[in-house]
Amino acid sequence: MVLYTIALVLAVSLVGSMLAGTIDATVTMDNPDRPPEMVCDMYGDDPDSLVTEGCSEPETIERDAGELVQEAVHDYLGFAVFAPLLLWALGTGTLYAVGRLAGGTPSFTGVLSLAGWAALPEFVRLAIGLVGLRVALSDVTITDVDRSVDALEAAMAPIDPLSLVASLVTIGWQWYLLTGGLASEANIPKGVAALGVGILLGLFSLMALF
């Protein structure tokens, strides 16, 4: 799971770079180095005032829109670190509870290791997603920031079916791994393990939609 977390962080950074590379536009924004207009109006005549040092700066500046997008994506790096570890903990606790409620005798360390193996199929989904995104954006150049969302949605539309298939295959693979592993680790019937794992994966899939 630690390896997957690292891979996810790198993938998020790569997505930011790919999105930034599709945008060829600038955005006019407030100059963060200039104090608020009210401050400049009140103290602008005082040459010794420290709060008005930046009042000579322009009120607005031009920023590369691609850089702004990349910065926004990088804000999610913390989430990319936290989310897999949280899901690992929740998955471990849920699988352990399923084993116990079914009358089995799972060990916590065994279930912890089993839940970690669920990340293996995610590497495949992650790789397919990155390749699909790279292909979808290969011929895209966005010059109108206001229409960037529409342009990205149109570019991604052809690979949406591939993403859906990749997700279904990933979930099916995880269900197979976890069902067999839980049945063996907890010494419970495979049907019971399959039901418990199915509910767990269903809940996690719903969480991913929000």
How far apart CA 158 and CA 172 sit, in angstroms, is 23
Q: Could you list the pLDDT tens digit for every one of the 210 residues in the chain?
A: 788 899 999 999 999 999 888 988 888 888 887 777 777 777 656 666 666 677 778 888 888 888 888 888 888 888 888 989 998 998 899 999 989 988 889 999 999 999 999 899 999 999 999 999 999 988 888 888 888 888 888 888 988 898 899 999 999 999 999 999 999 999 999 999 999 899 888 888 887 766
pLDDT for res 151 = 87
Secondary structure letter of residue 23 according to DSSP: B
| CA atoms of 169 and 145, how far apart (whole Å) | 35
Encoding tokens for residue 205?
């899939």
Q: 36 vs 40, 54, 62, 85, 194, CA distance in Å?
A: 7, 10, 18, 42, 61
Q: Which tens digit of pLDDT belongs to each residue from 106-133?
A: 999 999 999 999 899 999 999 999 999 9
Place of tokens 């149109």: 154
Q: For residue 152, what pLDDT is reported?
A: 87
Q: In whole angstroms, give the CA distance from residue 26 to residue 34.
A: 20
Q: What is the CA radius of gyration of the chain?
A: 25
The total number of residues shown for the chain amounts to 210
What secondary structure does DSSP assign to 100-161, as a single string? Answer: HHTT----HHHHHHHHHHTTHHHHHHHHHHHHHHHHHHTT--B--GGGHHHHHHHHHGGGHH
- Give the model's pLDDT for residue 210: 60
**Nearest alpha-carbon partner for 121 in 195, 171, 180:** 171
Burial class (CB in 10 A: 0-12, 13-18, 19+), 96: buried
Please tell me the predicted confidence (pLDDT) of residue 183: 93
